[in-house]
Chain A
Amino acid sequence: MTKLSPKLTQKFAWGFAWTTGVIAVLVMLLIVGYVLVQGLPVINSDFLFSSPEGGLAGEGGIFSCIVSTLWLIVITMAILIPLGLGAAIYLAEYAPDNRFTHFIRYCVELLAGVPSIVFGLFGFAVFVLALHLNYSILAGALTLACLLLPFLVRSAEEAMKAVPYSQREAALALGATRWQATIHVVIPAALPGIVTGIILCVGGVVAESACLYVTMGGSAGMPTSLLSGGRTLAVHVFYLAMETNALDKAMATGAVLIVIIVIINLITRWFSHYLQARMKGETSHGI
């Protein structure tokens, strides 16, 4: 067999890349499209603004689940972001390159690979039982913060390490302290990467079900405080699909979930643009 000419190889390679790319996009569109097509017609104000009533037919709507989900996102992020960014700043900017920090990095990587239900068990044992938080939004948020922490630390650290060293040197040479260089030069430059990490973590909160079932419980009531239990949309989807025959409502809940993710994504990106523009001090005109 004769060797293919470089030109022909190039054509095949391009065709292969194109086909796989199209397949990946189609599969994603198919899933999202299917859920939206099946779910959206079921959604009405009654469904959105009434709470689940149980029963084999999955009576009621999803209002308490939306509220629980939003609460969970806010509380988880309030715990996760300071911890994650703090650890990432330490690892990227301050940590010496020695065995101890190698060990920390190794642990972070290891934790990122542990299945979420194992974190759920940990949360159940520590937060729910030992700390007497019972099934609560707080217990769920703490558990999710543990689950997502390794991921956020890694993505934020990568983003900060991608900022050229010359930028830090420039800041230091101007009389900035290391902390000032981090806050005013490294973080603004790394912000897009950090925000992507945070968005993926929000997605993680919204998507998680098993580990929340054992820390937040499955109560469909409206949460009244951080210590009340709750059922997130994802847990509700699981419940509807397994315990009732209201598949249409499961799809509708799934559709709401997708819409919420898109909205949060847009808000976060807008906020990040706003923040970055402020940090850079750029304006479209002079000063």
Chain B
Amino acid sequence: MEFKMQTRELEFYYGKVQALKKITLGIKEHQITALIGPSGCGKTTFLRLLNRMNDVVPDTHLIGEVLLDKQNIYAPQVDVVEVRKRVGMVFQQPNPFPKSIYANVAFGPRMLGLSDGTKLDEIVEKSLRAAALWDEVKDNLGKSGMVLSGGQQQRLCIARVLAVEPEVILMDEPCSALDPLSTLRIEDLMRELKTKYTIVIVTHNMQQAARVSEWAGFFLLGELVEYDKTSELFSRPKNKRTEDYITGRFG
């Protein structure tokens, strides 16, 4: 199977502090890849490099390559807006805009220049349906996205990403601010979405990684310690540090 995204000897520095050490990792298309590890291990930093969200962080630099369909997204001629359109992101805290539900979902297409009302209506409905939110909000599209519950807000944020029709969706601990029921709904949603999209999820929750992902990578102190099929990594870890972490001896 082809790698949808790939990193090669990726290093990242905040000032002089090295946050990532030569990470080489391939992300398979239409599968869910989970990145686990203790706080500060670099997994979120790594995730944010996959759609160049760290570009705006001052005093940082990067060595190595991040390939999307074999093309380095950090190459000088690459348009960062185009990268982010193809690689969407869902954040840890649901962050809907203080705009209507409709305007939240239509935001991305509008920024990309779409203004046709009928087309926007279609995209909004399609995206909200795909994010399993349509039935709950279809009569209130004009209401503010901020009045929804936390779980609904996160699904709204997912719908907002889907509206841009990305190829890869990055999720940075998307359930850490949600209750168990909302968490399960998002996980169900991820399983549905992977048929069309490639998903990379950072999670603190090892059960979650085991439940949803096909591939798992264990990060520790900026290093990718082990990367394997999720079932392998959790049942037969090859590295002692991975074993210590997943059996709960630290972290």
Contact residues of A with B, CB < 8 Å? Answer: 96-97, 164, 166-167, 169-177, 180, 184-185, 188-189, 279-287
Contacts and interface: CB of A to CB of B under 8 A. Distances in A.
Contacts of A284: 142
Contact of A173 (B88, B100, B110): B88
A286 B142 contact: yes
B142 to A, nearest CB: 4
Nearest to A98: B58
B111 A174 contact: yes
B140 to A, nearest CB: 6
A189 B4 CA distance: 37
A20 B62 CA distance: 57
A169 B95 contact: yes
Contacts, number: 94
A181 to B, nearest CB: 9
B111 A180 contact: yes
B56 A172 contact: yes
Contacts of A283: 100, 142
Contacts of B81: 175-177
Nearest to B84: A175
Contacts of A171: 97, 107, 111
Interface in B62-96: 81-82, 84-85, 88-89, 91, 93, 95-96
B20 interface: no
B100 A282 contact: yes
Given A282-B144, A286-B142, A172 B107 contact: no
30 contacts: A167-B97, A170-B91, A170-B95, A170-B96, A170-B97, A170-B157, A170-B160, A171-B97, A172-B56, A172-B84, A173-B51, A173-B89, A174-B160, A175-B81, A175-B111, A176-B111, A177-B81, A177-B111, A188-B98, A188-B99, A280-B98, A280-B99, A280-B100, A280-B103, A281-B99, A281-B100, A281-B142, A282-B103, A284-B142, A286-B139
B141 interface: yes
Given A175-B81, A282-B144, A286-B139, A166 B161 contact: no
A286 B141 contact: yes
Specify which of A97, A169, A189, A284 lies most central, judged by the most chain B CB atoms within 10 Å of its CB: A169
A183 to B, nearest CB: 10
B179 to A, nearest CB: 20
A105 B103 CA distance: 35
> Which bucket holds chain B's interface residue count?
35 or more
A184 B218 CA distance: 38
Given A180-B111, A282-B103, 12 more contacts: A96-B58, A166-B95, A169-B53, A169-B89, A173-B89, A174-B108, A175-B82, A177-B111, A184-B110, A189-B97, A282-B142, A286-B142
A168 to B, nearest CB: 8
B143 interface: yes
Contact of B103 (A170, A173, A281): A281
Given A175-B85, A282-B142, A287 B102 contact: yes
Nearest to A181: B111
B59 to A, nearest CB: 9
Contacts of B161: 173-174
Chain B interface secondary structure, helix, strand, loop or mixed? mixed
A282 B147 CA distance: 12
A174 B161 CA distance: 6
Given A282-B143, A286-B141, A174 B99 contact: no
Contact of B84 (A164, A173, A185): A173
B112 A175 contact: yes
A102 to B, nearest CB: 14
B209 interface: no
B220 interface: no
A287 B106 CA distance: 13
A156 B81 CA distance: 27
B164 interface: yes
Nearest to B124: A287
A174 B104 CA distance: 11
A174 to B, nearest CB: 4
Nearest to A173: B89
B93 A166 contact: yes
A175 B161 CA distance: 10
Contacts of B143: 282
B97 A185 contact: yes
Contacts of B102: 281, 287
Contacts of A175: 81-82, 84-85, 108, 111-112, 164
A96 B93 CA distance: 26
Nearest to A164: B95
B145 to A, nearest CB: 9
Nearest to A175: B85
Contacts of B99: 188, 279-282
Contacts of B82: 175
